[in-house]
Structure 1
Amino acid sequence: MKLKLLTWDVKDTLLRLRLPVGQQYQAEAKSRGLQVDPTALEASFREVYRTHWRLFPNYGLSQGMTSHRWWLDVVSQTFRLSGIQDEKILQPLAERLYQDFSTAEYWEVLPGAREALQGCGELGLKMAVISNFDRRLEDILRLVGLDGHFDFVLTSERAGVAKPDVGIFHKALKLGDVLPQCAVHVGDNLVNDYKAARHAGMFSLLFQRRLMADVPSDHLIQSLDQLVPRLQGTMK
């Protein structure tokens, strides 16, 4: 197989939050004199996020929302569920957190990610991002120093379609000007990354530390330092 394009998921593949969402939200609330339990915030956030994504998928773009508005609603509702009801506090708090999560301070590069990107680039592969992220991603990648590795960054907001819909992979293949059989995708989610990319006709590798019964061992990487050797073996 002649690989030409390597696409990456970002969250929990290349980047991760420095602290859990509940702790980040609690710290900002505390700076405003509010006492909220971080565990409660974490649970509320997960519930609100799941519900909001189901009701307003892909940041509500097809329903006329912006990702900015979508996130302000998620953050505000997270605090409401955790006992904060004052709207005069909620709106500026949500806006502050939206801005905070746009900065490098809230994110860290996963161990081995920089080396993996460098090594993959040395293989002569064109690289890109396919992520269910919003418009802030390109700035975040620039701030953490990863942007220079990618020919393009395709977020679900930009694409107008989110993983696991194969449409976002087809858009990436078109942007990269490559056939599906000449592209490989790497990500940590079984459905959104591994299976979706394969449904789009691409090769894919799942980044997971634990073995999974329905994923062949040679399709699994348990640390990013395994990626370059795995690709070299595939390209022979």
Structure 2
Amino acid sequence: MRLRWLTWDVTDTLLRVRSSVGEQYCREARSLGLQLEPESVERAFRLAYKSQHQRFPNYGLSQGLSSREWWQHVVQETFSLCGVQGERALEPLAERLYRGFSGAHNWEAFPDVERALEQCRRLGLRMGVVSNFDQRLEQVLDSCGLRKHFDFVVTSESAGVAKPDGRIFREALRLSGLTEPSRAAHIGDDYWNDYRAAREQGMQSYLLQRKGAERGVDWGVPPEHRLSSLDKLPALLS
């Protein structure tokens, strides 16, 4: 059955951070006179993020948090783990980092993205985004020059649920107007959140495994459903 729609994951599929989180956090910290090692900050960030995600999944929306507050807690905990104390000092730093990760200053598109999106549009496909991102995603995509390609953007914050929960894909299908999920395909880099979750809703899907990225378990995904770059996608779809 001919495809009519594509939905896309964002982080590590369309966009990547320009430099490591540790480096970007340290850059902002230096502006306040704090000298830290990026590797130590990176480790602390991963611990803080994991802890926050476990206690308050999907930005703590169901527990009364906003995504801004959620990220501010992550930043403050990251620097606390690095020995930086004082809430008053960390509050402006957390705010600056929140704003900094709202656009192209800290995010960039992979080299194959613009070309692939243009070619998919020329195939007559309409496109949307399904991402476990917060309310900043529209601004991030616009800043990186990609928002123009998409009819809609569904984030886990706007949907109230995060991938792999099928409700976020059903919201995307509702926005597309499709009554046959098999006429939509989802592209992403995570087996559970993207490839399998979309298929469980009756959609087609492709798993992006970029060269140099950690591949992890193979999961038995057929070769024709795997992409080593987005350059291969338009030919598969046509």
TM-score when normalising by structure 2: 0.95
Distance in 2 between the 1:87 and 1:67 partners?
Answer: 19
Letter in 1 for 2:197: A
Please name the residue that 2:16 is paired with.
Answer: 16
1:55-113 deviation line (CA, Å, top 9, x unaligned)? 11110101111001000001110110111112121111001100111121111110110
Question: Aligned-pair distance for 1:209?
Answer: 2.9
Gaps of 5+ in 1: none
Please name the residue that 1:231 is paired with.
Answer: 237
Letter in 1 for 2:184: A
3-state DSSP of counterpart to 2:7: strand
Structural mapping, 1:14-163, within 5 Å: 14-163=14-163
Percent identical among aligned pairs is 54
- Of residues 221, 224, 227 in structure 2, which corresponds to 1:221? 227
Distance in 1 between the 2:62 and 2:160 partners?
Answer: 8
Distance in 2 between the 1:2 and 1:230 partners?
Answer: 12
Letter in 2 for 1:219: H
Kept in 1: contact 2:103–2:141 (CA 8 A):
no
Kept in 1: contact 2:187–2:205 (CA 8 A):
yes
Structural mapping, 1:163-178, within 5 Å: 163-178=163-178
Distance in 2 between the 1:103 and 1:216 partners?
Answer: 35
Please name the residue that 1:197 is paired with.
Answer: 198
Gaps of 5+ in 2: none
Letter in 2 for 1:193: D
TM-score when normalising by structure 1: 0.96
Runs of 4+ in 1 over 6 A off after TM superposition: none
1:183-221 deviation line (CA, Å, top 9, x unaligned)? 100001111111111111111000003673521100000
Question: Aligned-pair distance for 1:31?
Answer: 1.4
The RMSD of aligned alpha carbons is 1.0
3-state DSSP of counterpart to 1:153: strand
3-state DSSP of counterpart to 2:24: helix
Letter in 1 for 2:167: G
